Chain A
Amino acid sequence: MQSINVVNIDPNEAVQTIDGSMTEARRQLEVCNACRYCESFCSVFPAVNRERTFSESTITQLANLCHNCRGCHYACQYTAPHEFGINIPKVLAEVRQNSWQDNAMPAFMARAFHRSGAALAVAVVIGFALLLWLINQLPQSINANFGEGFYSQLSHNAMIAIFIPAFLLPVLAIAISVRRYWRSVGGTQLQLSHIKAALASVAKMRNLAGGSGEGCNFEDEDRFSNARRWYHQATMIGFLLCFAATSVGTLMHYLFDMQAPYPLFSLPKMLGVSGGVLLSIGTLGLGVLKLQADRDLADRRVWGGEMGFIILLFLVSTSGLALYVLAASPWLPELLAFHLGSVLAFFVLMPFSKMVHGFYRLAALLREQQLQ
């Protein structure tokens, strides 16, 4: 009898090289393609079943389509200790992570910040220190002349001068890297129907629904739960609301000459406070779930970076809410510096942190629509 060639799996030694993860993913997907039991869990398996062989670009696309719901893993008859050693959530997480890091610009930044929560923390501290220094350095009299509220601490123009480039340059870097991804997976001209379907999938987080709508197998082994799906949506919607609040505020400032601080029943405040609350709840929930989840069903290299990113988002939203509540506090300058510093760190690190997952996932969902 011929022996089978099975890559030896040592759970303590993650397959970390790009080629290693890619080869391992191919081996595992070939097992999946001969089995097909997981067809209804998510978008990945129907996409697997369209193929007979798996090119690197196909595997990268499948990896970005995977939302790490883990339903397939707990259902799999071939997970360790079985000699086939299937662990699709892990190997696809590794390929996915590699695709983000390789396409990032510059790639060395991505490698540092994706992996290290400590690096993220240092970035926040630097942002905080920078803002505090600015607040203290700019002559109070100048600031005072410029406005009231937060602008009495740091003028609107100074904020804009810092945050516009700190936002636009990272967005540009993300656009370039997602474009690289799009080309590498063979993406073509988009049609409105693709966009509609992909956005609908995002809105419902269909790929975290576990096929039957009962959610993923994340925090408690094979128990289905929508907790992660709802916390993720709270985070995403909260983030978009906060972003909308800032955008609306900026438009009001420049187009209508309506300057902050705004009353509670104004568009920026209502969007910002509700968004901040959702973002705080969502990130707190995601962080707690992440502590409970099995770390071996993801890319172990980036656990710290991912946790750091969740904490950073939590700090951004919570410090923003604190500013609203504690506007009259003597600690306002420090609090403002902390909030703006963490926002700054968040923006600057967008291309090099978990933040890119949203853009890549959307691209993968769009590509999947084209392939269907």
Chain B
Amino acid sequence: MIQQAKTYDLVVIGGGNAALCAAITAAEHGSTVLILEGAPKPYRGGNSRHTRNFRCMHQEPLAVLTDRYTEEEYFEDLLKVTKGKTDEKLARVAIRGTEESYAWMEAHGVRFQPSLSGTLSLSRTNAFFMGGGKALVNAYYRTASKLGVEVMYEAQVTHLERCGNRIEAVEFTHQGRSHRLTPKAIIVASGGFQADLDWLASAWGPAAKNFLIRGTPYNKGAVLRDLLDQGAESVGDPTQCHAVAIDGRAPKFDGGIVTRLDCVPFSVVVNNAAQRFYDEGEDVWPKRYAIWGRLVAAQPEQVGYVIIDAKSLELFMPSVFPPIKADSIEELAEKLTLPPEALQNTIEEFNAACRPGQFHPTELDGLATDGISPAKTNWARPIDTPPYYGYSLRTGVTFTYLGLKVDETAQVQSAEGPIENLWAAGETMAGSILGQGYLAGFGMTIGTVFGRIAGKEAANYAKH
């Protein structure tokens, strides 16, 4: 173990959005800051690399954001997706912090762009980063560097040494050697534990081994585990996470945005026995994509198959891998390794349940099936126009919700009270606010607002 001679006021663990917002804020408040980023430089930024927008309240049109989005509406949207499982105080701190954060982000190098094509429904609520989250991360690293923040890549934190209500030291490995630092304050912003499949499996059972991880392979929750083992209080349910149904051919890690499939509302989705299991047309896709990860996770082998016909091929965003194509349902079943006869029956039964009516791909059209269970309540058109197309679906986990309990100042709590020199921001404490469900762009909201709060609090602490 090498005791680092150089001392820092603040060590920030993690190198994504929350970590950078914290580091920049602390440096601007006069702290000397070291960022310990676990990933190598090309993969720096954690899941922030894959993000694209930030959900932001505003009273009137604000740069790329149209109309208005009030605190109340924002909070109601959060209540809807979490079904009330949120900490209202913390949630309102996050929401209120967004409006002012927009200008802060721009001042620190982030550039916004109008809502991307295919995402018009988000133009009022979500501000998109020009170039996406990696461009945001790059801009923050530039800004941090100008402020004198130091960064070590491939620095894996192994242990935080807790003594009473303080963290005395940070232990980490770097280039094959162990190091020890004794900063005045520490901020944990190292994400969830979703890349640790064993941990996921301990909560989910063996099903978790079939999950794909949409983001960074470096978020294994080592620091989270270490702190929980030392009595830091946790919030959230270990099975809760942001999980969506993605293309089954996606890479095991880091597939990011392109692996999403937007065709479910126009499709029939079956499991590996070729049986339907949920209403594909329950609501518009932006409001439903986040439930399909869990739905697929509950199916045998954690796999689903989405079936469409030629009528629907161009109604959704192009997929990164081309769909499996066939001239008959039977042939499609064979290519997808589904039982052909069962799929044939399911499709025939579905087609027979479709009713005439006006089809509107972009709104709830009420075109529902009649007499089958589960029903498809919108966009139910028979699958009858060859060629037919299919995709396999897997559960893609974005981030886990089990995390560190914090107060409104982002300070980490323990059974014995707050840990006086430890703060947390981002996905590692998001479970306080997101008990379940997900609201697009809310991860970046939590990271930005609580990153800035943690940075300021830690810097003030380090001064005294």
Contacts and interface: CB of A to CB of B under 8 A. Distances in A.
Interface string A62-80: 0000000001101111111
Contact of A34 (B135, B139, B317): B317
B10 to A, nearest CB: 25
Given A37-B257, A77-B49, A212 B130 contact: yes
Contacts of A33: 318
Contact of A40 (B130, B251, B317, B320): B130
A31 B134 CA distance: 16
Contacts, number: 98
Interface stretch (B111-119, B171-179, B183-191, B418-426): B111-119
Interface in B311-331: 314, 317-322
Which of A1, A30, A37, A79 has the largest count of B CB atoms less than 10 A from its CB?
A37
A38 B132 contact: yes
A223 interface: yes
A30 B116 contact: no
Given A1-B248, A34-B317, A77 B133 contact: yes
The binding surface of chain A is classed by DSSP as loop
A35 to B, nearest CB: 5
B22 to A, nearest CB: 21
A2 B321 CA distance: 11
Given A33-B318, A222-B138, A41 B131 contact: yes
A76 B134 contact: yes
Given A36-B116, A39-B117, A41-B131, A30 B138 contact: no
Contacts of A40: 113-114, 130-131
Contacts of A304: none
Contact of A81 (B42, B139, B248, B318): B42
A362 B23 CA distance: 45
Interface in A40-85: 40-41, 46, 49, 52, 71-72, 74-83
Contacts of B248: 1-2
A211 interface: yes
Contacts of B49: 77
Of A36, A72, A76, the most chain B CB neighbours within 10 A belong to: A36
A124 B391 CA distance: 59
Given A40-B130, A77-B133, A212-B130, A4 B116 contact: no
Interface in A10-40: 30-31, 33-40
Contacts of B322: 30
Interface string B254-265: 101110100000
A37 B131 contact: yes
Contact of B251 (A37, A74, A83): A83
Contacts of B258: 31, 34-35, 78
A72 B258 CA distance: 15
A35 B133 CA distance: 12
A39 B52 CA distance: 12
Contacts of A214: 111
A72 B318 contact: no
A52 B314 contact: yes
B34 to A, nearest CB: 22
A39 B113 contact: yes
Contacts of A34: 257-258, 260, 317-320
A2 B392 contact: yes
A212 B249 CA distance: 36
A249 B284 CA distance: 68
B381 interface: no
B452 interface: no
Given A2-B392, A81-B42, A222-B142, 14 more contacts: A4-B250, A35-B258, A37-B131, A37-B257, A40-B113, A52-B314, A71-B135, A77-B134, A77-B254, A82-B254, A211-B113, A211-B131, A214-B111, A222-B139
23 contacts: A1-B394, A3-B249, A4-B250, A33-B318, A34-B317, A34-B318, A34-B319, A35-B256, A37-B116, A37-B133, A37-B135, A39-B113, A40-B131, A74-B134, A75-B130, A75-B132, A75-B134, A77-B257, A78-B258, A81-B42, A211-B131, A222-B139, A223-B142
Interface of A: 1-4, 30-31, 33-41, 46, 49, 52, 71-72, 74-83, 211-212, 214, 222-223
Interface of B: 42-43, 49-50, 52, 111, 113-114, 116-118, 129-135, 138-139, 142, 248-251, 254, 256-258, 260, 314, 317-322, 392, 394
What 10 A-B pairs are tightest by C-beta distance, nearest first? Answer: A75-B131, A37-B132, A40-B113, A75-B135, A34-B258, A34-B320, A222-B138, A212-B111, A77-B49, A2-B249
